[in-house]
Structure 1
Amino acid sequence: MNDMPSALHAHLGYWLRIVSNAVSHSFARKVEAEGVTVAEWVFLRMLHDVDRTAPTLLAERMGMTKGAITKLADRLVEKELVERKANPDDRRAQTLALTPAGRALVPRLAALADRNDAAFFETLEPRERVEMERLLRKIVSTHGLTGLATD
C-alpha cells in the first residue's frame, strides 16, 4: 500500500488554477486601469446586451444575489456608467441601463479582454484552442457549473 500523497503537480486543477490566476489577475489590472473592477466589467457587459433590464433579471443572468447586484449598480451609478429609472410598468420597481459613457466603455474593455486572451493563449495552435474550449465547456456542462466569473 502506498501512503505517499499524490504530487501537487499531478493535478489538473493545479495547472488550471495557475493559468486562471494569471489570466484573471492580468485582466483585473487592465480593467482597473480603466476605473472598473472585473465584477463591474461583467455587469456592464451583460447590461450591454439589453436595452434596459430589471436588477432581478440581471442578478439571475449573472448568478448573483439581488443585494450584490444592487451594490454593483450603486458603484456604477456613482461612476456615471449606469442609470436607474422607474419601471414604467411598475412604479415600485426600477430598471438599469448603460449611460452613453457606459455604452462607450464596454467595447474598450472587451478589446482589453480580447488582447488579454490573445497574450495568454497565443501559444496554442488554433485547433488546440478550439479543443481546449470544447473540453472546458464539457466539464462545465457535465458538472452543471453556473454563474459568471466575476473575481
Structure 2
Amino acid sequence: MSNISDLTTHMGYWLRLASNAVSQEFARKVTAEGVTVAEWACMRSMYDEDAMSPSALAEKMGMTKSAISKLADRLVEKSLIERTSNPDDKRGQSLRLTKEGRRKIPRLAKLADQNDAENFAVLTAKERASLDRILRAFAERHGLTGTPID
C-alpha cells in the first residue's frame, strides 16, 4: 500500500463537491431563463449602475476586459444590455442594461435566493451562519475578490 492520501481526505474535495452541486443546479435554473451564470453575474454587477465602462465592469468583477467584452457581446446579442458611446471619451463605450435586462434581474435574483435556500436547507441556521462566516474569512484572507462565474 502507498502513503498517497485519498481524495476525500482533502477539504478542497468537499468544497468542490458542494460547490458543483449548488452551482450546477443554479446553472440549470438560469439557463431555463435564457442566460448563463456568467451572464447573470455580469448583469447583476451592472444592476445598481446606470451605465458602466467595460473596464470598470471588468475591475468590479475581477475579470479581464477581453472576458467582459465576450460576455457583453453575448448579452447585446440577447438584447439584455446595450453599448453606447461614452460622452466623456469619444473612443470609449458604456454598457447599460436594457429594459428587458433590468426586468430579468429580480426573477434571476429570486432563483439565486431559492437555489441557496433549497441547497442549504439541510443545515441548521447555526451551521449556515458558521459556514458563511468561515467561507467569507477564507476569501478575505486569501484576497479573493473576483466574481465566481464558472
Q: TM-score range by the shorter chain?
A: over 0.9
C-alpha separation in 1, matches of 2:68 and 2:85: 17
Q: Which residue of 1 aligns with 2:128?
A: 129
- 1:75-90 → structure 2 map (5 Å cutoff): 75-90=74-89
Q: TM-score, normalised by structure 1?
A: 0.95
Instruction: Report the aligned-residue RMSD.
Output: 1.2
Q: 1:123 aligns to what SS in structure 2?
A: coil
C-alpha separation in 2, matches of 1:52 and 1:145: 25
Q: Which residue of 2 aligns with 1:115?
A: 114
- 1:92-107 → structure 2 map (5 Å cutoff): 92-107=91-106
Shift of 1:142: 1.4
Q: TM-score, normalised by structure 2?
A: 0.96
Gaps of 5+ in 2: none
Q: Give CA deviations for 1:41-93 in whole Å, capped at 9, x if unaligned.
A: 00000000111110100001111111111111111111110011111111211
Shift of 1:3: 5.0
Q: 1:95 aligns to what SS in structure 2?
A: strand
Shift of 1:7: 2.3
Q: Which residue of 2 aligns with 1:14?
A: 13
C-alpha separation in 2, matches of 1:145 and 1:88: 34
Gaps of 5+ in 1: none
What is the identity, as a one-letter code, of the residue corresponding to 1:117? Answer: D
- 1:53-68 → structure 2 map (5 Å cutoff): 53-68=52-67
C-alpha separation in 1, matches of 2:4 and 2:70: 43
After TM superposition, where is structure 1 displaced by more than 4 Å over at least 4 residues in a row? none
